[in-house]
Amino acid sequence: MLLLPLRRSYPGEFLAWLLERGIQPHIPAIDRRHHTGGHFTRKQFRYAPEENTYYCPHGEPLRYGGLSRGTQSYACCGAAGHCRDCPPKERCTPGATRKLSVRWREAAREAVRTLASIPAYERFRRARYRIEALFAKLKQRRRLDRVRLRRLWTVAKQLLLAATAQNPKRLMKSLVHEHAVVALSTA
């Protein structure tokens, strides 16, 4: 049985937690990298890991400028002298210098983005959605958002009864659909 962390975690932290345990996450990474307002994206900046520095498209370094615990990211900033005289400055930043925010768990996010590009991942995500839709229906329509009984075995009975009531309904819908398809094909 998979136990999830009890504390509130950020999406990148949770993805890293799954990857550390060898669990392949099938949760899409929230990706807002393309929301730049017409300015350069992070893909256009080159990262040099040996120097721990990002380089702007014009070739100037952006050095470490601190960290933000609220957004769980590092800030990399350009020098005011370099940015002021830079030819593509209007495409780079509206401010005096360029600031690049890099998430702490960016490696985990990138691993999930790579995983999301695999066709099997998309098939699994669609199948997972169908299963989760059934649980959502139990929760919302059968009012199982809170269990009314105590002890694990009584809760299991309640969920089993609710699922038993839900499945014949789905079976009837599929049988009606199957008979309609047969009737149309013979006509």
Residue 24 lies in a domain: yes
pLDDT (mean) for 105-130: 83
The last residue of one of the domains, among 113, 146, 168, is 113
Give 186's pLDDT tier (boundaries 50, 70, 90). Answer: low
Shared domain check, 58 and 20? yes
Q: Same structural domain for residues 168 and 108?
A: no
Residue numbers of the domain that contains 32? 11-113
3-state secondary structure the chain: CCCCCCCCCCHHHHHHHHHHCCCCCCCCCCCCCCCCCCCCCHHHCEEECCCCEEECCCCCEEEEEEEECCCCEEEEEECHHHHHCCCCHHHHCCCCCCEEEEECCHHHHHHHHHHHCCHHHHHHHHHHHHHHHHHHHHHHCCCCCCCCCCCHHHHHHHHHHHHHHHHHHHHHHHHHHHHHHHHHHHC
Tell whether 157 and 104 lie within a shared domain.
no
Are 44 and 73 members of one domain? Answer: yes
| In a shared domain, residues 69 and 155 | no
Q: Are residues 74 and 26 in the same domain?
A: yes
Q: Which of 83, 113, 143 is the last residue of a domain?
A: 113
Of these ranges, 92-96, 154-158, 166-170, the one predicted with the greatest mean pLDDT is: 154-158
Q: Is residue 109 part of a domain?
A: yes
147 and 100 belong to one structural domain: no
* pLDDT beyond 80 at 121: yes
Position 1 in a domain: no
pLDDT in tens, 13-51: 888 888 899 988 877 776 666 666 667 777 777 787 777
Lowest mean pLDDT among 42-56, 119-133, 168-182: 168-182
Q: What is the pTM of this model?
A: 0.55
- Looking at residue 182, its pLDDT comes to 61
Does the pLDDT at position 100 exceed 80?
A: no
Tell me, yes or no, whether 25 and 100 share the same domain: yes
DSSP single-letter state for residue 39: S
Q: Are residues 65 and 81 in the same domain?
A: yes
Count of structural domains, the chain: 2
Distance CA 33, CA 53 (A): 19
Within a domain: residue 22?
Answer: yes
95 vs 140 pLDDT, higher one: 140
Same domain, 96 and 35: yes
At residue 5, the pLDDT reads 43
| 3: in domain | no
61: nearest Cα among 102, 117, 100, 107? 100
Final residue before a domain boundary, out of 70, 87, 113 = 113
The rounded distance, in Å, linking the Cα atoms of 111 and 103 is: 14
Domain match, 135 and 66 both:
no
* Domain-located, residue 58: yes
Q: 52: closest CA among 35, 65, 68, 71?
A: 65
